[in-house]
Amino acid sequence: MQCALPFVRLNTIKNMSNYLNLTFVNNLKPLEKINHYEFRNKPFSNSDVFLVTIENFKLLTQGQDVKRVYNLKLSTMTISYNFLPGDTIGILPRNDDREVDEILIRLNIESDKEKLYELGILENTTKKSATLPKHIPRQGVLKDIFTYYIDIRKPPKKLFLKALIPFTRDPEEISLLEKLCSPKGSNEYADLITGKAHTLLGLLNTFPSCNPPIGIILEHSLPLQPRYYSISSSPLENNALQITFFIVDNDDGTKGVCSGWLEEIIRYSDKQIEKIPIYFRKPNNFRIPTDTTTPLIMISTGTGIAPFIGFLNHRQKMKINDNGVMGNTYLFYGCRYPDRDFLYHNELEEYLKTHVLTKLYTAFSRSTEKKWYVQDEMNKNGEELVNNILRNGAIVYVCGDAKTTVKGVKDALINNLVVHGHLEESAAKDYLNELVKENRFITDCWS
Ligand SMILES: Cc1cc2nc3c(=O)[nH]c(=O)nc-3n(C[C@H](O)[C@H](O)[C@H](O)COP(=O)(O)OP(=O)(O)OC[C@H]3O[C@@H](n4cnc5c(N)ncnc54)[C@H](O)[C@@H]3O)c2cc1C
Ligand SMILES: NC(=O)c1ccc[n+]([C@@H]2O[C@H](COP(=O)([O-])OP(=O)(O)OC[C@H]3O[C@@H](n4cnc5c(N)ncnc54)[C@H](OP(=O)(O)O)[C@@H]3O)[C@@H](O)[C@H]2O)c1
């Protein structure tokens, strides 16, 4: 929340932006504290924000040529929300402190970072209907803008590059900026935004003679967005809230904003008290039926196994609770190697032993010369797959990359419906569309 208090203006920071005016203020009374997580944008939110800590973590991968994937167990003491496996949480990440400091140093405002600011519209602006950006509080502490509110990793838009020109001294840098904004410079622009000038800091360091006012940067900034993670646990297991995530390692040595922040908390025990703001997204239809006799076919690659580990955990507890019959449960899982990135291998073996999982089909893409993907494994076991769908009413769940895995799985399913279901290709496609409509072919993916 923001409050209107009497402010004394101390100075105006390089007051040359198009329409935003950032002034330092010396408040007479302490400012009402803004909780960044209350103020921030929370798309698809279905709950309050809860501050949680990491209770436990486990590295799930090892060796070369695989991503670092972790299982995180989050504390649930502060959570008052009924979640289910298959639901998704949004984590409100923060930008890396060192990167923020470097930006502030580069902008010559490091010494002001703890100062209070007020954001307003320049009185003499020529911009029509200028408004304050919704993602930045009107008042606050300067460094918080860069830590919580703006995305400092988004590739710069051409308009931003153009806006930097008046604040650049070096003629060569000016002509490069002009070229980058022009239609002639589209190749150079593409190289720039995929190269080291991808981030705000990288961009500023690429143009050392450019010294823009903060207002310009804020005018062209985008909000720091939440990152989403599938729940990999069941609330029936001591209300456990777990996620499975991989670390994004960028070519420039930086890590993903959120995955890097989470790994930092894990690595340094003094940080493990850090509060992580999360919220629950509106659930979609990626949930298991309450009837435990319904057969399930789960298909995933890599971290796409995240919701399915939650499903199995839930189904195990449902079975114990209901003391009832369990429908067949199949998992098709694809990863690179059997001994490096086979996520939750031991847990899956245990679920097989206890018949929570009826069959596990694996596809290891890099352990043989020829790639072997989940869809190859589906084709190999097509008859059983089709029988379960056509005759036993199984529900098919797919979690993986939208462009690669999900497309491949759909094609394989159509192929198997033709071969083993004896349908014409067009009828097989229609049948798949029907399954989608009836919530019997459900996908959860991002790319
Ligand atoms: C519905 C949904 C569910 C999801 N579920 C899961 C899940 O269960 N597990 C999971 O691990 N993830 C999941 N994700 C993805 C997750 O939300 C994040 O997108 C992911 O963790 C990366 O976030 P990040 O902040 O670490 O990386 P970001 O900082 O957002 O970086 C992501 C990408 O941006 C580019 N990039 C950023 N900075 C640079 C740079 N300096 N140089 C070059 N390129 C750069 C790269 O392409 C990089 O791969 C899900 C996403 C959605 C939409
Ligand atoms: N709720 C959600 O929406 C959710 C949750 C978690 C994960 N996911 C999705 O899961 C995907 C997997 O993530 P990851 O980075 O952990 O995976 P990854 O390790 O990069 O890949 C996992 C496996 O998939 C294989 N693969 C590549 N292309 C394929 C294709 N066309 N068809 C089938 N398999 C293919 C890979 O083989 P090679 O690399 O050897 O070619 C590898 O063996 C993410 O991209 C994300 O989209 C979604």
- How far does the centroid of ligand 1 lie from the alpha carbon of residue 401, in Å? 12
CA angle 249, 225, 46 (to 5 degrees): 125
| Domain interval for residue 237 | 42-93+225-280
Any atom of ligand 2 within 6 Å of the Cβ of 394: no
Q: Among the listed ranges 93-97, 124-128, 206-210, 289-293, which one has the minimum average pLDDT value? A: 124-128
Band of residue 431 on the pLDDT scale cut at 50, 70, 90: very high
Residues 352 and 412 both lie in one domain: yes
List 91's β-bridge partners, or say none. 227, 278
The pLDDT value recorded for residue 325 is: 78
Residues 207 and 327 both lie in one domain: no
User: Which ligand lies nearest to the CA atom of residue 401 in the structure?
Assistant: 2
3 state DSSP class of 385 = helix
Residues 235 and 181 both lie in one domain: no
In this structure, is residue 291 part of a structural domain? Answer: no
Residues 309 and 402 both lie in one domain: yes
CATH number at residue 422: 3.40.50.80
Per-residue pLDDT tens over the stretch 343-391: 999 999 999 999 999 999 999 999 999 999 999 999 999 999 999 999 9
Residues 101 and 69 both lie in one domain: no
In this structure, is residue 212 part of a structural domain? Answer: yes
Burial group, residue 429, by CB count within 10 angstroms (0-12, 13-18, 19+)? middle
Residues 53 and 30 both lie in one domain: no
Per-residue pLDDT tens over the stretch 226-273: 999 999 999 999 888 999 999 999 988 899 999 999 999 998 877 668
In this structure, is residue 316 part of a structural domain? Answer: yes
Average pLDDT over the chain reads 91
The ligand 2 atom at the shortest distance from the C-alpha of residue 66 is 19
Nearest 5°: phi and psi at 89? -100, 155
The pLDDT value recorded for residue 1 is: 35
Q: What letter represents residue 341's amino acid?
A: D
Residues 251 and 321 both lie in one domain: no
| Mean pLDDT (whole number) for 208-216 | 95
| Mean pLDDT (whole number) for 141-159 | 95
Structure tokens belonging to residue 4: 């209107």
What global pTM score does this model have?
Answer: 0.93
In this structure, is residue 50 part of a structural domain? Answer: yes
Residues 88 and 51 both lie in one domain: yes
Any atom of ligand 2 within 6 Å of the Cβ of 306: yes
Based on the structure, what is the number of domains in the chain? 3
Residues 350 and 264 both lie in one domain: no
In this structure, is residue 1 part of a structural domain? Answer: no
Single residue among 172, 201, 219 that ends a domain in this structure: 219
CB of 140 within 8 A of CB of 34? yes
Higher pLDDT, 84 or 127: 84
In this structure, is residue 205 part of a structural domain? Answer: yes
- How far does the centroid of ligand 2 lie from the alpha carbon of residue 307, in Å? 14
The pLDDT value recorded for residue 440 is: 97
Residues 182 and 159 both lie in one domain: yes
Give the C-alpha separation, 302 to 432, whole Å: 24
Any atom of ligand 2 within 6 Å of the Cβ of 404: yes
In this structure, is residue 3 part of a structural domain? Answer: no
The pLDDT value recorded for residue 11 is: 37
Residues 30 and 170 both lie in one domain: yes
Looking at residue 414, the DSSP 8-state letter turns out to be H
Residues 300 and 442 both lie in one domain: yes
| The 241-246 sheet, strands edge to edge | 54-59, 69-74, 241-246
Give the C-alpha separation, 137 to 160, whole Å: 21
Per-residue pLDDT tens over the stretch 300-333: 999 999 999 999 999 999 877 666 678 999 999 9
| Mean pLDDT (whole number) for 39-59 | 95
3 state DSSP class of 420 = coil
